[in-house]
Chain A
Amino acid sequence: GAVVSQHPSWVICKSGTSVKIECRSLDFQATTMFWYRQFPKQSLMLMATSNEGSKATYEQGVEKDKFLINHASLTLSTLTVTSAHPEDSSFYICSAPHQAARNTIYFGEGSWLTVV
């Protein structure tokens, strides 16, 4: 079964609104989680590293005010796309290392965001 769960799987929002995507580690704690963005037929692009209890670390070129990341607990990280625009439409996927499983990195199911 899944060890990392993402919600929602699909979301459609209007331009200018904000949308939140949740990433949960199931049955294990994750002090670090990673958020990726994937364009069609392309690889995963790391957006940011989510750190429990502290600020997220963003990759170069990723707008931190646009993509708000909060890691409020050891099992939950959230990505909020603020003031969404059509160009933010994409597949977003999170991952978390499972320490008890030799730090194997497990991925969520991903979330499709469509901004209309």
Chain B
Amino acid sequence: AQTVTQSQPEMSVQEAETVTLSCTYDTSESDYYLFWYKQPPSRQMILVIRQEAYKQQNATENRFSVNFQKAAKSFSLKISDSQLGDAAMYFCAYRIDYGGATNKLIFGTGTLLAVQP
């Protein structure tokens, strides 16, 4: 079974600094997708970044980038120049794409990020 593990329940970063959130996953599949979602206090789930497993290049979206290590099954999120608005719960997610479970997302337990002014 596919699992997603986030080993950091809480993290804190100073405004303008950089922080890295960890995520590991377990799967026997070779083709899959990985995501980071942000959930602010409003509870709205917001897609931060996505990575296709077949791509070797790490995805980047402005201040957000990932370090995707396929062999190690690791998918960390780096937030550069942290802003107060980055404070939220961050979920790592894996997407299954086979059979009747198309587009099904499996979530990690989340990391609560606090940004200190």
Q: Which residues of A contact B (CB under 8 A)?
A: 32, 34, 38, 41-44, 46, 49, 57, 91, 93, 95, 97, 103-107, 109-110
Interface residues of chain B, those whose CB is within 8 Å of chain A, are 35, 37, 42-45, 47, 50, 91, 95, 100-110, 112
Query: When A and B form their complex, what is the total count of cross-chain residue pairs whose Cβ atoms lie within 8 Å?
Result: 51
Query: A103 to B45, Cβ gap below 8 A?
Result: no
A43: contacting residue among B35, B42, B101, B109, CB under 8 A: B109
Residues in A neighbouring B112, C-beta threshold 8 A: 41
Distance A26 CA – B42 CA, assembled complex (angstroms): 20
For the A-B complex with A44-B91, A107-B45, A109-B43 known, give 10 more contacts whose Cβ atoms are closer than 8 Å: A32-B102, A32-B103, A38-B43, A43-B110, A46-B104, A46-B105, A49-B104, A105-B47, A109-B42, A110-B44
Give the shortest distance, in Å, between A2 (CB) and chain B (any CB): 9
B103 touches A44 (CB 8 A): no
Contact status of A93 and B45, CB under 8 A, knowing A43-B110, A44-B91: yes
| Best-buried of A97, A104, A106, A107 by chain B (most CB within 10 Å) | A107
7 residue pairs, one from A and one from B, having the closest CB atoms: A107-B45, A97-B103, A43-B107, A110-B43, A43-B109, A44-B107, A43-B110
Whether the Cβ atoms of A104 and B50 lie closer than 8 Å is yes
